[in-house]
Amino acid sequence: MKRQHLIGILLSLIMAAALTSCRTSDELVYISDAQYDSATTILQEYSTIVMPGDELAIDIVSMSPESLFQFYKRSGGNSSNNDVRNLRSEYLVSQEGTIEMPMLGKMTVAGLPLDTVATNIQKGLIDSNFVEDPTVTVTRTNFRITVLGEVRKPQQFTVDGNRITILEAIAVVGDIKQSGMRDCVKVMREQNGEQQIGIIDLTSQEIFNSPYYYLQQNDIVYVEPNDKRKRTATYNPNILSYISIGASVLNLITSLGLRMERVDRYLP
């Protein structure tokens, strides 16, 4: 009986080891180290950089409809409406990083923040006396972000506006699953012709100081599976069957061994 009891304990340990997952963080709370009623200053200054292939919408507004209309006509517009107060044009940034604006000619925009591009266009209009007191706004119409991995709805989506944070991107895809690692989210970014990979911890308030808190055009956010999810992916569903068969074989061997001992006692 002692032998059977020992085998039973051994089998229990084997099954426990097979079913126990690897140790993993059960941290599911965002910015868990923040104090209540606390304030954190965002040190990273936000600026979205123009890149080749971007599609830009340029809005020119003037309180002088006549000057804006004249610029519109000189630019090739054929409207007969003299009360033009808001002029919008769309441009594709070339591989050389330039756009070709009517009257202003070729302008280099790649590598510049959108606000700087708007300022340069506004200055060009004022210096050339094309438009009186212009206000220029530049927006990107193909601001795309991709979120992959352990999220509820992995997808690529277009951002409405010029700015999005990583927390807002996570919200768009329906939040991170419990199987995702919130403390080790990867952000893949192309910058200056190089692919960069940044790591951001969504459970810490240090995210506000990260250069990846604000996402840039074509960023790819990847949420890795935690240890439990990785183990499940490699888990063999037949392991319990193997353990059961092994237990049966061991019990059979033990029973035969005990019977042989009893037979040996009665043999001369």
Question: What confidence tens digit (pLDDT) does each residue in 65-90 have?
Answer: 777 777 776 766 655 555 567 788 89
pLDDT, tens only, 95-140: 999 999 988 899 999 999 999 999 999 999 999 888 888 999 999 9
For residue 72, CA distances in Å to 16, 79, 82, 92, 126 come to: 77, 9, 10, 19, 15
Per-residue tokens: 76: 């090739």
pLDDT of residue 255: 67
pLDDT, tens only, 157-193: 999 888 899 999 999 999 999 889 999 999 999 877 7
What's the number of CA atoms in the CB half-sphere (13 Å) around residue 172? 19
Give the pLDDT band (50/70/90) at residue 141: very high
DSSP 176: B
Residues of the chain with CATH 3.10.560.10: 144-231
pLDDT of residue 47: 73
pLDDT of residue 167: 94
pLDDT of residue 21: 39
Residues of the chain with CATH 3.30.1950.10: 55-140
> Between 253 and 1, whose confidence is greater?
253
Distance CA 101, CA 108 (A): 11
Percent of the chain with pLDDT over 70: 63
pLDDT of residue 189: 92
Per-residue tokens: 260: 């042989």
Check if CATH label 3.30.1950.10 holds for domain 55-140. Answer: yes
pLDDT of residue 194: 83
pLDDT tops 70 at residue 267: no
> Between 62 and 123, whose confidence is greater?
123
pLDDT, tens only, 4-56: 555 555 445 444 444 443 334 446 666 666 556 556 565 556 778 899 999 99
pLDDT of residue 20: 41
pLDDT of residue 66: 79
pLDDT of residue 78: 56
Give the pLDDT band (50/70/90) at residue 240: low
Distance CA 185, CA 226 (A): 11
Please tell me the CATH code under which domain 144-231 is placed.
3.10.560.10
Pairing of strands 180-191, 105-108: unpaired
